[in-house]
Amino acid sequence: MADTRIRRVAVAQYACTPEPATNLDTAVAHIQRAGEAGADLVLLPELHNTPYFCQREDPAGFDLAEPIPGPSTERLAAAARTAGVVVVASLFERRAPGLYHNTAVVLDRDGRIAGRYRKMHIPDDPEYYEKYYFTPGDLGFTPIDTSIGRLGVLVCWDQWYPEAARLMALAGAELLIYPSAIGWDDATDDADEQARQLAAWQGVQRGHAIANTLPVIASNRVGVEGDADTEIRFWGHSFVFGPQGETLAEAGESGELLMADIDTARTETLRRVWPFLRDRRIDAFGELTRRFRD
């Protein structure tokens, strides 16, 4: 008999305000709604407690960081326990004075912290000055064990790197999960460029699903943040892809709670006929550890 393991996943897509307490209230409300809808897992957007402060380099931005565990994880844990869902949260972690991370925290159904992932790839682009704030992660690409399976949690800029998704797959991840905060600059990106960027963002992650035969779940925020000089319009379009890259659910550009059912047993079935992991030429991949092959 086939092994059928259906997981209902919820992706919370919403705008974040300048008030952390308000944003945390919004996150908790989405967790409650997801639990009422029968979800097993809820994914929140990247850095959901705060506005996207990385649009500028400002020492005052570090005041937004918080310890893990701390007040936010305590409240999110209580919400996870009440709703009976696994929560993937995304916080600005204060590890020590002068040492901060962009950290995803996984809270299991019983409210315990199942694990954390510190963002490994840190961008430094106009209006995305993350290298100023975040130390690169030091926990590696290690899936997090939960009551609903092994979660390969990565964060935003990590989504452009096939190596990260592959290493999570090789370590036994059953789902690839990406909390994100990505958008357009309307002053410089015309409609055609916006369409290309969105297609690229979804396309590279669809490739991760196909190449690793794993479902992929990505969240994004929506709304406009910043000022006239640093304005980002977060494009939303959170999605759930199946293990062949098929679209199981996709949001638009406004706030919503996206829901999809995933059959995680399909990975085993598909890998028997598309054995990508079996046929990898690991004896010929040594050059991948070089920055560039001159």
Provide the annotated active-site residues.
Answer: 46, 119, 156
Element of type H or E holding 144: strand 144-146
Instruction: Give the whole-angstrom CA distance, residue 233 versus residue 227.
Output: 11
Residue 252 CB coordination number (10 Å) = 13
Query: Nearest-5° angle of CA 13, CA 78, CA 83?
Result: 60
Contact (CB, 8 A) for 251 and 221:
no
Show Cβ contacts of residue 250 under 8 Å, excluding neighbours closer than 6 positions: 237, 238, 239, 240, 258
Q: Does the bond joining 69 to the residue before it have cis omega, within 30 degrees of 0?
A: yes
Q: To 10 degrees, what angle do helices 71-83 and 20-36 make?
A: 20
Measure Cα distances from 132 to 60, 69, 98 in Å: 12, 23, 11
245 three-class SS: coil
Q: Are 243 and 262 in contact (CB under 8 A)?
A: no
- Do 129 and 55 form a contact (C-beta atoms < 8 A)? yes
> Given the structure tokens 């992650």, which residue do they identify?
205
Distance between CA atoms of residues 282 and 227, nearest Å: 48
CA distance readout (Å), 115 to 88, 104, 145, 255? 10, 9, 8, 28
Rg (CA), the chain: 18
